[in-house]
Structure 1
């Protein structure tokens, strides 16, 4: 352990809660426990915040993926198990990227955004974490196909009128549908002539309801996969839990609709944090530290009030009570023993058999993580760095490839998020693309990733070739967009265990954090059943007013 900084002893040596890992769920629980007066020691063996939710440089994300795709060889009783597989990293411009490698903030759990009106934004405002993060709007959304074509998603009345790809009949059909949805959701029945969707229709598959509305296939696909964000093929889900019911589809449309226009500087429904998704766990860690005493970060020690947080401090073993054999604390790599009644772990840690949750205490129903569709599945993820945008004159936007749009066996929707240098995730003039899809196994995940990579290459050719020739005077070889660097990998979905030792959950397959934060809140209540999750406060810094969230223009 000679590479570890010489930490002074931690005082006190007993805490209400010890948390290992600074992923988003761990950081939220740390902040929530601190908010109700619990003493919390927050540790992380990594030299950075975020764990599986981190935003990292090129060397760091490469190292992280490689190290977490192999079995830990540490001689500790608290070991890690691999949660990533099929890691493929390609670099076609090593000199250029080495020069700028530390200017990248690459998300491990991408693509991911926040809806302006979703639970994560509300939680950041309520907890006060929003004051530590700035956001920027995602400018547009598209639906793509395997031929290199993109269609704009008409997600509002204004967008429908402007969309030149829609015929007059399609626009009228879409307008009638959105009016019905707004009427169903409106509390003012007279404004919409009491337009309500029947209880029977609310229980049928959403795709069937869209068919009864006589919407064409292209429009149905946009609504299902680019607005309602369905994960799997909705046309072939007989007897499957993957089917999206009308009531759920309408609720997702309501979230999308209420997100558009919530913040003055957000053009659409989606926003993204400057410097990457790794800013979110850091914001909650800072919130947790507001009332703490000691904050140790590598060789630097500074006094804070409330929480104690230590980076680069591995835990080498768990301590057991002699009489009962139950958990009672941890031994740090510094040799110090720290005691607590409760422990929360990053999902990559394996608990020794004698301390693992007994079968009688397996995951309660209320803590079933994510969507029910995610359990026992994986998420295939990809990251690309390019020197040109997929769409000329646009930097930050979303592309959705519906099921079967890239190849016949494609059962899951693929989501792609492009971000530019104005979000401080890469140098100016470069772009980062994230893409992901749920998959049943690693082989299916690899096929989805490679199909997406091929589709993106076609998009580069079809969208940019002509404009590049015009701008650069015809030298096609010099200006043709290329993928400079890519990382493809398959991530496990882990639900964790719950007891005196709790394990948090891995990043799920969703675009936003709603299911993940819901599960995190339930875990907090499992740990502290009589405490409120971020109690209300009259402090101005915790105001839930929308002005508490900063959006750059």
Structure 2
């Protein structure tokens, strides 16, 4: 640990809560616990905020992926404690969440220039956006974290038809449905009728008065598979595909119960449609349902960290922990040992999902001690617990006149063996993620194994991007208007597979969630809220706080 900065000893040395890792879950918990009055120490071994949710320059992203995809080195011998007999020391190790990392530079003259490559803010957990009405936005508004981040809308959403490159617009309003030239008049009428039924059902469900004449979806239909309800509404396959994968954002083939990882019920499908519908028009500066943070997804955990710091949370970056400290008699958790050798104590501990207990340490523990650290023992990887991710730096856009766009390829749309949807998010320089003449393309798909996931991503890339050929950029511009050559050119590419780890409550020691395979943060936020309730005991997350002006007004009213 000779590369650690010369940190002075931390003071104080005892906290209510220690959190290691500044991912979204950990940062929400730090902000919530600090707001409730708990003393919080928030550490991160990285030199940046965000952990697995960070937005990084190309050199930093390359370094992170390579260093976090290698087998962890053996832990160094623990530094001597002030009194080695006080506690039992359990060594911690970092396991890799990433595998099959493949990074290729096609334009070294541009992207190998560090001054140029550091103008990128590239998401480690992409593609990811936020719905204007989803829980992460509500939580940011409630906590005040929204004051530290700014969003812009995603211009358009498309569903890919097949490998020919056809992209069908996802209609997000009555006007959009009738403007869509890819839909026939009958298809437009059926889609309008379907949305009217859903909106009428939602209006009736939210009304406090019982209306016998209100149009509602029956209880029987609500418990049936969503795909069957869509068929009952006489929607053609093209429309069903847009609803299932372009709006409800499902992963698996809903028409095949054998291969489907999650056959969605109608009540869940209607809830997803409600999220989409209520997101449209919520904010005046958002054109559609989806928004993206300027400077990248890493701004979201940073916003919660800033809120936590305002409430007294102490932050230390570049600070790994090397061991847990357990009571020798009871096996209870007491604290952690920092890489500097200092021992820090707390009542509760939350760890980054890649931190685990070394197997050598586990073999020497008693049953009670093993129970204390059980959430840190690596679980066996079962099927469908991985997500393949891809990043491309491209010249020009995949869709003419559209800078920021989401593209979804439903299962089997690109090739027969495609088991899950492939999501593609294109972002332009207006979001401060890349230079003005480029775009960043993010791709992801859930998968059973690395080869399957990477094959799916490469198929989507070949559909959207021109194959790289040994020609300079000037010669390509000559055929810019040729339809066969209109696809953008890839300048840099990364492929990798990430393990999915769910957060887990373990009493004194808990683990946070890794980035999941979803498009938004709802499941991650839900996991963080549940963990907070278990840690704090059901106390409300981010109690409504009055501004100084509101407090003064309340005081004036009391005086009257």
TM-score by length of 1: 0.87
- The structure with the largest alpha-carbon Rg is 2
Q: Which of 198, 216, 225 is the aligned partner of 2:236?
A: 216
| Corresponding position of 1:504 | 512
Q: Which of 344, 357, 362 is the aligned partner of 2:350?
A: 344
SS at match of 1:109: coil
| Corresponding position of 2:152 | 136
Deviation at 1:359, TM superposition (A): 6.0
SS at match of 1:69: coil
| Corresponding position of 1:205 | 225
| Corresponding position of 1:3 | 3
Query: In 2 relative to 1, CA 405–542 (structure 1 residues): closer, same or farther, beyond 3 Å?
Result: farther
Query: In 2 relative to 1, CA 55–490 (structure 1 residues): closer, same or farther, beyond 3 Å?
Result: same
SS at match of 1:254: helix
- After superposition, residues 390-401 of structure 1 pair within 5 angstroms as 390-401=398-409
Return 5+ residue gaps in structure 1 as ranges: 292-305, 364-373, 462-467, 544-553
| Corresponding position of 1:248 | 268
SS at match of 2:335: strand
Deviations 1:65-84 (A, max 9, x none): 11111121042421101111
Separation in structure 1 between the aligned mates of residue 437 and residue 550 of structure 2, nearest angstrom: 37
| Corresponding position of 1:66 | 66
Deviation at 1:29, TM superposition (A): 0.7
Query: In 2 relative to 1, CA 440–166 (structure 1 residues): closer, same or farther, beyond 3 Å?
Result: same
Return 5+ residue gaps in structure 2 as ranges: 77-90, 376-381, 470-475, 552-560
Deviates more, 1:328-337 or 1:482-491: 328-337
Deviation at 1:63, TM superposition (A): 1.0
Deviation at 1:237, TM superposition (A): 1.4
Deviation at 1:240, TM superposition (A): 5.6
| Corresponding position of 1:483 | 490
1:523 matched to 2:531? The reply is yes
- After superposition, residues 44-83 of structure 1 pair within 5 angstroms as 44-76=44-76, 77-83=91-97
| Corresponding position of 1:94 | 108
Deviates more, 1:77-86 or 1:347-356: 347-356
Separation in structure 2 between the aligned mates of residue 328 and residue 507 of structure 1, nearest angstrom: 29
Query: In 2 relative to 1, CA 486–470 (structure 1 residues): closer, same or farther, beyond 3 Å?
Result: closer
The answer to whether the Cα contact below 8 Å between 2:24 and 2:301 also exists between their aligned partners in 1 is: yes
Separation in structure 2 between the aligned mates of residue 233 and residue 475 of structure 1, nearest angstrom: 32
Deviation at 1:408, TM superposition (A): 0.3
| Corresponding position of 1:435 | 443
SS at match of 1:417: strand
SS at match of 2:12: coil
Query: In 2 relative to 1, CA 346–375 (structure 1 residues): closer, same or farther, beyond 3 Å?
Result: farther
Separation in structure 2 between the aligned mates of residue 62 and residue 83 of structure 1, nearest angstrom: 15
The answer to whether the Cα contact below 8 Å between 1:128 and 1:541 also exists between their aligned partners in 2 is: no
Separation in structure 1 between the aligned mates of residue 484 and residue 138 of structure 2, nearest angstrom: 48
Query: In 2 relative to 1, CA 47–541 (structure 1 residues): closer, same or farther, beyond 3 Å?
Result: farther
Deviation at 1:132, TM superposition (A): 0.2
Deviation at 1:3, TM superposition (A): 2.3
Query: In 2 relative to 1, CA 404–192 (structure 1 residues): closer, same or farther, beyond 3 Å?
Result: farther
Deviations 1:139-196 (A, max 9, x none): 1000112111111111211100111111111111111111111111113699995111
SS at match of 1:78: strand
Q: Which of 189, 203, 209 is the aligned partner of 1:172?
A: 189
Separation in structure 2 between the aligned mates of residue 132 and residue 505 of structure 1, nearest angstrom: 23
Separation in structure 1 between the aligned mates of residue 317 and residue 503 of structure 2, nearest angstrom: 23
SS at match of 2:465: helix
SS at match of 1:103: coil
SS at match of 2:198: helix
| Corresponding position of 2:127 | 111
Deviates more, 1:46-55 or 1:195-204: 195-204
Deviations 1:431-462 (A, max 9, x none): 0011111111222212212212212226999x
TM-score by length of 2: 0.86
Query: In 2 relative to 1, CA 182–357 (structure 1 residues): closer, same or farther, beyond 3 Å?
Result: farther
| Corresponding position of 1:331 | 337
